[in-house]
Structure 1
Amino acid sequence: MFVITADQVDSRSGTDLVAAAIDAINDGKVRPVLAAERTVGDELQVLVEGGDDALEIVLRLARTGRWSVGCGAGEVATPLPRDIREATGPAFIAARRAVERAKKRSTRFALETEPATKAAADAESLIDLLLVLRSRRSPEGWELHDLLESGLNQAEAAERLGITPQAVSLRASAGELRADSAARQPLVRILDRLGSVEATPA
């Protein structure tokens, strides 16, 4: 299981983004075990089962640059309550520790298990690399990324954007879209192992 706790950055001087983020998570393609809810003030929390959903939420929140994102992997106490605010367990403890550490990191992301493990530190480092790569992407690169994620191929994306296939290839290369796509499935497999086994001390 994965608990994701996200705290809005500098919320006191900007618009409250929590409600919109909760709606986007609960109405999106992820499958929460316990729906995203506002926990305290400008913070949200969601419980998911698989590494694919955990990575999807982390990447979506991190893309905006408006969140510190902590991910806790491991066990949760059962039976599960209906409301995530009543849930407990090692993964929740890990997520709390992770979000506090994320606030001090350049990527504003951290991943933890309870107790801490080397596997979690390794996964965090790999996700950091993906987040750094994505942080350098131009708006045009993100535009192409979103079209390809919607199911279009590069030729169809070129037609939609009104540019040549060669220009699309250059944009994809500049945005490191192939490296991004290639990294995600291995990361999901790593996360799945992390979330499905009992944590062992580092």
Structure 2
Amino acid sequence: MFVITADQVDSRSTDDAAAGALRDIGAEFGDRLRLPPDRTAGDEIQALTGSADTAYRLVLRLTRDGRWSVGLGVGTIREPLGDSTRASTGNAFFAARTAIDAAKRTPARFALRAEPPTDESRDRSTNTALGADGIEALIALVLALREKRTDKGWEVHDLLDAGSTQSEAARTLGITQGAVSMRARTGSSREEFAASEAIVRLLENLHTTTTDG
């Protein structure tokens, strides 16, 4: 399982963002989460999913505006789950706790930690499988690209990410297709999409090596 723990940055001097984040996450990702996202303490929120793609997209969403430090934990959970995300436990939750503590000390405000693989899953994994530290580094690079994207770049990126073609994005924004291409290139959208596909596959592999016994 994947556990995402996010802690609001500088919460003592900014308005509480947890309620709004929980509402938005529930609306966008609710059917892909094992339990509703939850506030675990004051300004900290948590979500649980079995989907690598959902976990990754949650990381991207929470890190987009710089208001959250985000930790991603990968591993097993204790079944049956509790009545809420906050009441549930397991190695994935422990890994997420270690990750969020580490995230607060990184420039990207993101960290990934995983439960050690079982002997059987380690034997089945390929020699080219990338560990948690390598995947964390790749995600940090994607976050660095996103941090440099302008508002206009985000307009194009969000349309392309939602499935629009460049010509459709051009019509939506009232600009030329060449301008869309330029914004996508300047904003490194193509690079992010390519990297994201690989990262999700790597997260799926990491999940397999940590949870299959």
Q: What residue is the counterpart of 1:97 in the other structure?
A: 98
1:53 paired with 2:47, answer no
The normalised TM-score by structure 2 is 0.89
Q: What residue is the counterpart of 1:5 in the other structure?
A: 5
- The amino acid across from 1:62 in the alignment is T
Q: What residue is the counterpart of 1:36 in the other structure?
A: 37
Q: What residue is the counterpart of 2:77 in the other structure?
A: 76
Deviations 1:139-168 (A, max 9, x none): 110011112223321111111211111111
Deviation of the 1:87 alpha carbon = 0.9
User: How many matched pairs?
Assistant: 200
**Aligned partners of 1:29, 1:87: CA distance in 2, in Å?**
19
Q: What residue is the counterpart of 2:150 in the other structure?
A: 138
**Aligned partners of 2:208, 2:12: CA distance in 1, in Å?**
37
What is the aligned counterpart of 2:168 among 133, 143, 156? Answer: 156
SS in 1 for 2:41: coil
Deviation of the 1:114 alpha carbon = 2.9
- The amino acid across from 2:16 in the alignment is D
- The amino acid across from 1:136 in the alignment is K
Q: What residue is the counterpart of 2:127 in the other structure?
A: none
**Aligned partners of 2:96, 2:154: CA distance in 1, in Å?**
29
**Aligned partners of 2:78, 2:204: CA distance in 1, in Å?**
19
1:20 paired with 2:20, answer yes
- The amino acid across from 1:88 in the alignment is T
Gaps of 5+ in 2: 123-129
Identity of aligned residues (%): 49
Contact 2:115 2:210 in 1 (8 A): no
**Aligned partners of 2:180, 2:48: CA distance in 1, in Å?**
37
Q: What residue is the counterpart of 1:177 in the other structure?
A: 189
Contact 2:52 2:203 in 1 (8 A): yes
Gaps of 5+ in 1: none
CA RMSD of aligned residues (A): 1.8
